[in-house]
Structure 1
Amino acid sequence: MAKSISKFLMMSLLGAAVAVSGCSGSGGNAAESEHSGGAGTSSLDPVTLQVVIPGGKGTNFDEVLAEVNKRLKAELNTQVKFTVIDFADLNQKTNVMLSSGESVDLMFDAPWLHLDTMSSQGYYEELSGLLDQYGPNVKKTRPQQMWDANKINGSIYGVPLGSAYTQERAVFIRKDLREQMKLPPVKTYEDLKAYLYAVRDSKPGITPLLAGADDVTYSWVNWLIRDDTSVNIRPTNFAGASLILYYKGNDGKVNNFFETREPVIWSSIQDVRKLFKDQVMSQDVLTNKSSPAEMQLQNKIAASPQMAFGIPKPFNDQLKQVVSDGELEAVRLFDLTPGKNLSNFKMDNFICIVKASKHKERAMMFLDWANRQENYDLLEHGIEGVNWKAVGEHQYETLNNDAGIVSFQLMLNPALEREWVGTDEETREYRQFIAQADNFTKDIMTGFTFDPAPVKNEVAQFATIQAKYYSGLFNGALDPDEYFAKFKKEGEAVLKKIQTEMQRQADAFLAQ
């Protein structure tokens, strides 16, 4: 379910059915159909795979890609070309690519993007047959529990990418500033607010807090709600990480925020509105074009939500180039009590084979190649001996601009991940906790996937309405009393139809 804190973090932070009926494995050429992933170049036609992923290109992107293609040419007579799309443009551009039939073989997708919708509309290949024939490494590096929980209507439309059963989440703050202001370590949300107000009052020129507006996952209210185990509120994913329709507790009921005005969500909206009016939250939260991580490393903001439990070493290295004594630390509000957190064991990210691809078999062969340790390491960390070196079986040490091409976008799994040797003990404790399924209570909706097809027009219509209000309300930039009423007036009739259909499907699922 989680993105790992590895090389993808630098890329991602510096940048949120009608079943497919085709036969698995169809669409490739004859030569590919006759050979497995271990075939040599003499028996495979030359193929260049087009792969679409989110993020940004790391420092050593070109050098690492050259080594990737060198190995692929020798082993599979294959080359791979990556189209890298900024997160802010991801939804629109991938929609256009799929609907226009652009030549793409592998595409990143996610429940918070449009995985369910695109699968139900027939844009992705069902993978069971391809996995059985060409993907033994893809299958064995993911536990059966992960495969079972990440099907869509009982079928596999994407390889699940993740290494834990919930997301790593923290707020990165400046340890050096906190100590200068003589504040104790931040352990609670109230401690965090005390730090933010102290920055406002004593550090002119540094914005205390910047959340994310282009991905609702990173909106400030979403960030706080996800770690509140007293209510266990979580998105239904019909519109990304939106909490307008949400699950609460573990009863399978689809709640409608327009109807409930859920107290804990509403109070958080009011709280962040105060942060905005007090000029603690960035006044440019809705229009800012740089990522919070990038701005934090430039000494422009003092706190930002990040999908990680610990500080990546390159972050502090980069910050010190701007502020000699600058240092980040992670504020973790995640509850480490076994059983308090729910998990549906779903992953946040997937790699899909596009239905229109003419190279489906080769695409799976490439994924299988990427899920071998030596190739996984190359893609994630770069060239061994140049960018990184192995430490023991499951750790690594950076050498020179440790940076690969991909991780969570292509092949992330729990079996092959390495941990940076300098990871502090507390961060390691948090990561080990979320990597153990027994630490979580099983979500009653585990295995359920909403099929948006019956209300696809309403889903599209609501997405347009939500875009006008959600980020502004959930980041404090819009007055909740005035704009929530407008949001509700425009969206409640449409949302009610979606809620009714989702509840119908949820009840049918639970009845089984």
Structure 2
Amino acid sequence: MVKLKSLLMAAAIWGLTSALAGCGGNDGNDAGTAGTGGQSNQSLAPVTLKVVVPGGKGANFDEVMSEVNKRLKADLNTQVDFTFIDFGDLNQKTNVMLASGENVDLIFDAPWLHLDSMSSQGFYEELTDLLNQYGSHVRETRPQQMWDANKINGKIYGVPLGSAYTQPRSVFIRKDLREKLNLPPVRTYEDLKAYLYAVHDREPGITPLIAGADDVTYSWVNWLVRDDTSLGVRPTNGIGASLMLYYKGNDGKVYNLFDAQEPKIWTYIEDTRKLFMDKVMSQDVMTNKSSQSDMQLQNKVAATPQMAFGIPQSFNDRLKQVVPDGELEAVRLFDLKLGSNLSNYKMDNFICIVKASKHKDRAMMFLDWANQKDNYDLLERGIEGKNWKAVGDHRYETLNSDGGIVSFQLMLNPVLEREWAGTDEETRKYNQFIAQADHFTKDIMTGFTFDPTPVKNEVAQFSTIQAKYYNGLFNGALDPDEYFAKFKAEGEAPLKKIQNELQKQVDAFLGKQS
């Protein structure tokens, strides 16, 4: 099962700037102004596209992809071959793939991964001409503002994947355990801690909490900071989702956690250390190789951070196979007050066409095919009538869940994404809130993209150093009094150079806006 990170929906609902039409690919038979350029399937040479995405195969993947390739063969004389990479290995393996010139046509990337640096180094094709020529459905399913906010140095290096202005985030807990422990519904972080400690004290066979050590985003401190609107802190993406460099409020300044231990962040770090020392946080948080979701659904863990506001039906179905009375519920710490959350309207995920691809035109044709309703439904939901059934134009019911490609990996957009018909009203309220731009305060950094090229050596150096300390500190496994000083001794110099370069570029960007 794909980690619930595959429910990740990133930030914004928008469209595309117009540009001159032209040819951007290498398939000699691919030409025209949109779709297949008006050509018949017979005029297109047979092509197999290599596509690299994160996560793993769903239960019905092979059957669904067989149908996908059958339709693709008929429509575009094309086949697709997917390679899946575990999230923990994604950065390293995709770096090697691109640097070595491995045969890849389409590849997933993200600001929290290495989208900016790979684009700046020329590994990805600029997409304006390809979109104008072959990508009408890709363009039209993403309104203008989405494209405007997700350019890199004014250019389009990836198709943005998202349907909301920020990530849905919650903590999945066991409702049946909470009720068994006679605890009220969890509304605050203090309520959540009370639940975790009650599980620790009275359910000795279950680990209360596990966070993510293979992804900075899922570290427990990062998780808490993102939902604390009183703090107003978010990562710069200059070094991924790390909070060692961060923006605070809307003042256009780049802050460095080595310079000053931001009081609230430091409080979260110390509090998370206490959770670990009290054995509320999993003692295996840094070495666990299993999916957090799998561990929870196997009755091993009572709480996990998840990129969703509601519980997927498949999760409760799987849990009940192990615990017949088991049931999950979502603890949402997200602030629903109008204007309390900042948004730069950037998506967290992108699909890119590799510069070295020999089939750029066909790759865009495939993306356009995938962004048409029937094909989108097949790719994400599986075979209609067997894996799922439609409920109106925008909702669905599951019959045999797990389709082919989860939409955030390849084609997620605000027009074609469906909502599960069983979604409760509270979850719908949260989902609908983050889908409205005017519910957010505009981030002063909207439209800014950091070019790491001037400090690429320092970024690589700091990344290696950070890997030794960050997730240990931000998940409570390392003593902050001892290890933060070691982290600073090794990482302060390269991080300061990155901060200075980032601030220089921010100042230049804001200067042009005034």
Pick the TM interval, shorter chain: over 0.9
**C-alpha separation in 2, matches of 1:8 and 1:508:** 41
Q: Is the 8 A contact 1:24 1:126 kept in 2?
A: no
Deviations 1:419-444 (A, max 9, x none): 00000000000000000001000000
Q: Is the 8 A contact 1:11 1:58 kept in 2?
A: no
Which amino acid is the alignment partner of residue 493 of structure 1?
A: A
Deviations 1:297-321 (A, max 9, x none): 0000000000000000000000000
1:21-32 map, 5 Å: 25-32=23-30
**C-alpha separation in 1, matches of 2:387 and 2:348:** 28
Identity of aligned residues (%): 77
The alignment covers a number of residue pairs equal to 499
**C-alpha separation in 2, matches of 1:13 and 1:286:** 23
Q: Is the 8 A contact 1:24 1:125 kept in 2?
A: no
**C-alpha separation in 1, matches of 2:337 and 2:287:** 38
Q: Is the 8 A contact 2:51 2:80 kept in 1?
A: yes
SS in 2 for 1:339: coil
**2:17 equivalent in structure 1:** none
Q: Is the 8 A contact 1:309 1:332 kept in 2?
A: yes
Which amino acid is the alignment partner of residue 31 of structure 1?
A: N
Structure 2 CA distance for partners of 1:342 and 1:469, relative to 1, 3 Å: same
How far the C-alpha of 1:401 sits from its partner, in A, is: 2.7
**1:94 equivalent in structure 2:** 94
Which amino acid is the alignment partner of residue 156 of structure 1?
A: I
Deviations 1:206-257 (A, max 9, x none): 0000000000100000000000111210001122210000000001100000
**C-alpha separation in 2, matches of 1:212 and 1:121:** 30
**1:308 equivalent in structure 2:** 308
Aligned mate of 1:12, from 6, 27, 34 = 6
How far the C-alpha of 1:88 sits from its partner, in A, is: 1.1
SS in 2 for 1:489: helix
**1:346 equivalent in structure 2:** 346
With the length of structure 2 as denominator, give the TM-score of the two structures. Answer: 0.95
**C-alpha separation in 2, matches of 1:165 and 1:100:** 35
How far the C-alpha of 1:353 sits from its partner, in A, is: 0.1
Aligned mate of 2:35, from 26, 34, 37 = 37
2:228 is the counterpart of 1:228? yes
Q: Is the 8 A contact 2:397 2:421 kept in 1?
A: yes
Structure 2 CA distance for partners of 1:311 and 1:166, relative to 1, 3 Å: same
**1:366 equivalent in structure 2:** 366
Deviations 1:43-81 (A, max 9, x none): 111111000001110011011101111111111110110
**C-alpha separation in 2, matches of 1:285 and 1:206:** 14
**1:336 equivalent in structure 2:** 336
Structure 2 CA distance for partners of 1:87 and 1:9, relative to 1, 3 Å: closer
1:181-220 map, 5 Å: 181-220=181-220
**C-alpha separation in 2, matches of 1:8 and 1:322:** 19
**1:396 equivalent in structure 2:** 396
Structure 2 CA distance for partners of 1:194 and 1:173, relative to 1, 3 Å: same
How far the C-alpha of 1:33 sits from its partner, in A, is: 3.1
SS in 1 for 2:73: helix
Q: Which blocks of at least 5 consecutive residues in structure 2 are unaligned?
A: 11-20
**1:424 equivalent in structure 2:** 424
**1:4 equivalent in structure 2:** none
2:103 is the counterpart of 1:103? yes
**1:433 equivalent in structure 2:** 433
Q: Is the 8 A contact 1:161 1:350 kept in 2?
A: yes
**C-alpha separation in 2, matches of 1:164 and 1:361:** 29
Q: Which blocks of at least 5 consecutive residues in structure 1 are unaligned?
A: 1-6, 17-22
Deviations 1:163-191 (A, max 9, x none): 00000000000000000000000000000
Q: Is the 8 A contact 1:12 1:56 kept in 2?
A: no
**2:456 equivalent in structure 1:** 456
**2:16 equivalent in structure 1:** none
**1:324 equivalent in structure 2:** 324
**C-alpha separation in 2, matches of 1:140 and 1:35:** 15
**C-alpha separation in 2, matches of 1:220 and 1:478:** 13
**2:18 equivalent in structure 1:** none
Q: Is the 8 A contact 1:172 1:305 kept in 2?
A: yes
SS in 2 for 1:400: coil
1:138-177 map, 5 Å: 138-177=138-177
With the length of structure 1 as denominator, give the TM-score of the two structures. Answer: 0.96
Q: Is the 8 A contact 1:183 1:195 kept in 2?
A: yes
Deviations 1:311-356 (A, max 9, x none): 0000000000000100000000000001000000000000000000
SS in 1 for 2:407: coil
**2:127 equivalent in structure 1:** 127
How far the C-alpha of 1:292 sits from its partner, in A, is: 1.1
**C-alpha separation in 2, matches of 1:231 and 1:425:** 29
Deviations 1:110-167 (A, max 9, x none): 0111101100110000001100111000001001110000000000000000000000
Q: Is the 8 A contact 1:8 1:408 kept in 2?
A: no
**C-alpha separation in 2, matches of 1:11 and 1:508:** 35
**C-alpha separation in 1, matches of 2:410 and 2:388:** 20
**2:413 equivalent in structure 1:** 413
**C-alpha separation in 2, matches of 1:202 and 1:363:** 55
Q: Is the 8 A contact 1:394 1:419 kept in 2?
A: yes
**C-alpha separation in 1, matches of 2:248 and 2:226:** 11
How far the C-alpha of 1:27 sits from its partner, in A, is: 4.2
How far the C-alpha of 1:29 sits from its partner, in A, is: 2.4
Deviations 1:246-275 (A, max 9, x none): 000001100000002101100000000000
Bigger mean CA deviation after superposition, 395-404 or 231-240: 395-404
SS in 2 for 1:408: helix
Q: Is the 8 A contact 2:51 2:107 kept in 1?
A: yes
SS in 2 for 1:478: coil
What's the C-alpha RMSD, in Å, of the aligned pairs?
1.5
Which amino acid is the alignment partner of residue 423 of structure 2?
A: T
Structure 2 CA distance for partners of 1:35 and 1:414, relative to 1, 3 Å: closer
How far the C-alpha of 1:11 sits from its partner, in A, is: 7.2
